[in-house]
């Protein structure tokens, strides 16, 4: 009888260990499935971005440039040589220094900033 008990106890331990191993491998499988799911999701998102980038490039290339919303500025020589027309007259600010008075020979009124030794 004692031998039967020891066999049964050993059998229970083995069953317990086997159940633990099955649980462990089930956890590993679930982690792998979750990882693969997120990898597939990321790959799908990257693929969508690539497709949208390709569509945008196709829209912005060649003859479609004028039809699409992609506008690239193009300057001509005429843009810089043409006379500028203002909507209203420009504001006139006084010159920062009185060069006109100095040319005429008029003395400046104000502080005497000449250094004397």
Q: Is residue 85 part of a domain?
A: no
Average pLDDT, the chain: 75
Q: Is residue 78 a part of any domain in this protein?
A: no
- 42 in a structural domain: yes
CB atoms within 10 A of CB 9: 10
Given a contact cutoff of 8 angstroms between Cβ atoms, the answer to whether 26 and 36 are in contact is no
Is residue 29 a part of any domain in this protein? yes
How confident is the model at residue 52, as a pLDDT? 83
The answer to whether residue 7 sits within a structural domain is: yes
Query: How would residue 12 be classed by pLDDT, with cut points 50, 70 and 90?
Result: confident
Whole-angstrom Cα distance, residue 35 to residue 31?
Answer: 6
pLDDT of residue 107: 55
* pLDDT given for residue 1 in this prediction: 46
pTM to 2 decimal places: 0.35
Residues of the chain above pLDDT 70, percent: 66
Q: How confident is the model at residue 65 (pLDDT cuts 50, 70, 90)?
A: very low
Is 112 inside a domain boundary? no
Q: How many CB atoms lie within 10 A of CB 60?
A: 14
Residue 56 lies in a domain: yes
Q: Domain count for the chain, please give it.
A: 1
Q: Choose between 42 and 89: higher pLDDT.
A: 42
- Does residue 57 lie within any of the structural domains? yes
Domain with 53 in it:
1-67
Which one is predicted more confidently, 35 or 83? 35
Query: Do the Cβ atoms of 67 and 77 come closer than 8 Å?
Result: no
**Is residue 23 predicted with pLDDT exceeding 70?**
yes
pLDDT at 88 over 60: yes
């Amino acid at each position: 009888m004692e031998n039967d008990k020891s066999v049964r106890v050993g059998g229970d331990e083995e069953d317990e260990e086997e159940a633990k191993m099955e649980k462990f491998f089930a956890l590993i499988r679930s982690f792998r499935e979750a990882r693969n799911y997120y990898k597939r999701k990321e790959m799908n998102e990257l693929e969508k971005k690539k497709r949208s980038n390709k569509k945008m490039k196709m829209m912005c290339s060649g003859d479609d440039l004028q039809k699409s919303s992609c506008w690239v500025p193009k300057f001509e020589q005429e843009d810089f040589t043409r006379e500028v027309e203002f909507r209203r007259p420009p504001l006139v600010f006084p010159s920062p220094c009185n060069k006109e008075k100095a040319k005429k020979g008029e003395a400046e009124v104000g502080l005497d900033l000449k250094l004397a030794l």
